[in-house]
């Protein structure tokens, strides 16, 4: 009769359901194994800070497509002058009037032309992921107020770093800037707020995205990190909340 599912059709449907469940379970297991295999532990001498020791507050921000770190400008500039790191001096002086500075890294085309998922250009995305997009950049933004007020729609996580950990993070950031004539290469105005693009000599690919970079500089500060979960900003934030927040 019309509308009745025949016995053979039920068997096919059941097989499809079992196959789908098996594939989903296998993918979940593979993800878990890969996450564990790429997991990097916290560095006890750096993070968490020793009880009663001085700390420096930083923020990690997830804008939906890009992640970035937010650090105090005065401490960044201080590290720059103490350790003669020209990128940190340049950024610290450029954004001297701002209490905070947001620093993100990524593929130039992706950063300039694909700020959100809704504006994604698959040609640019594929070029970036395959490493054929060309150049990479830092996007640096001076924030005039508390990050939560500046980015009310973004997911922000606050972390307290040891002074040694912050120094390691700042130096890891400086390492990625391209230097020409003794100074970072200024590419002009960024995409929002009081901002600038700077040329980077790091290579962008599926194995080194903006979120991997964020995880890497945080790991330099002593925090735990995993390359697999950091592939997407939501995964990066979830792992930090699971493994790094006391």
Could you tell me the residue ranges of all domains in the chain? 1-40, 43-243
Residues 127 and 123: their CA atoms lie apart, in Å, by 6
- Residue 75 in 3-state DSSP? helix
Owner of token pair 């729609």: 153
Specify the pLDDT at position 207. Answer: 82
Please name which of 220, 175, 178, 174 lies closest in space to residue 198, comparing C-alpha atoms: 178
Pairing mode, strands 136-143 and 194-200: antiparallel
Cis amide prior to 48 (ω within 30 degrees) = yes
Tokens (6 digits) for 101: 């500075």
Residues 211 and 228: their CA atoms lie apart, in Å, by 10
Q: Within the chain, which residues score under 50 in pLDDT?
A: 1-3, 5, 21-37, 117-119, 121-125, 127-128
Burial status of residue 23 (CB atoms within 10 A of its CB: 0-12, 13-18, 19 or more): exposed
Specify the pLDDT at position 128. Answer: 47
Rg (CA), the chain: 21
Q: Work out whether the CA dihedral 93, 95, 101, 104 comes out positive or negative.
A: negative
Specify the pLDDT at position 12. Answer: 59
Specify the pLDDT at position 165. Answer: 98
Specify the pLDDT at position 65. Answer: 80
């Amino acid at each position: 009769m019309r509308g009745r599912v025949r016995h053979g059709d039920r068997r096919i449907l059941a097989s499809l359901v079992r196959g789908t469940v098996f594939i989903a379970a296998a993918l979940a297991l593979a993800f878990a194994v890969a996450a564990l295999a790429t997991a990097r532990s916290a560095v006890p001498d750096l993070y968490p800070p020793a009880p009663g020791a001085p700390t420096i507050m930083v923020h990690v921000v997830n804008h939906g497509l890009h992640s970035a770190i937010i650090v105090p400008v005065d401490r960044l500039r201080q590290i720059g002058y103490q350790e003669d790191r020209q990128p940190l001096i340049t950024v610290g002086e450029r954004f001297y009037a701002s209490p905070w500075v947001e620093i993100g890294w990524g593929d130039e085309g992706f950063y300039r032309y694909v700020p959100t998922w809704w504006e994604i250009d698959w040609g640019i995305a594929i070029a970036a992921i395959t490493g054929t997009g060309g150049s990479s950049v830092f996007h640096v933004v001076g924030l005039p107020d508390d990050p939560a007020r500046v980015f009310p729609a973004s997911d922000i996580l606050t972390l307290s770093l040891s002074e040694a950990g912050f120094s390691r993070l700042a130096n890891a950031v400086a390492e990625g800037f391209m230097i020409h004539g003794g100074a970072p290469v200024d590419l002009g105005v960024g995409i929002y707020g009081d901002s600038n693009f700077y040329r980077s000599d790091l290579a962008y690919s599926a194995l080194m995205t903006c979120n991997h970079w964020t995880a890497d500089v945080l790991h330099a500060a002593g925090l735990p990190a995993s390359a697999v979960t950091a592939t997407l900003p939501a995964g990066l934030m979830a792992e930090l909340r699971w493994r790094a927040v006391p």
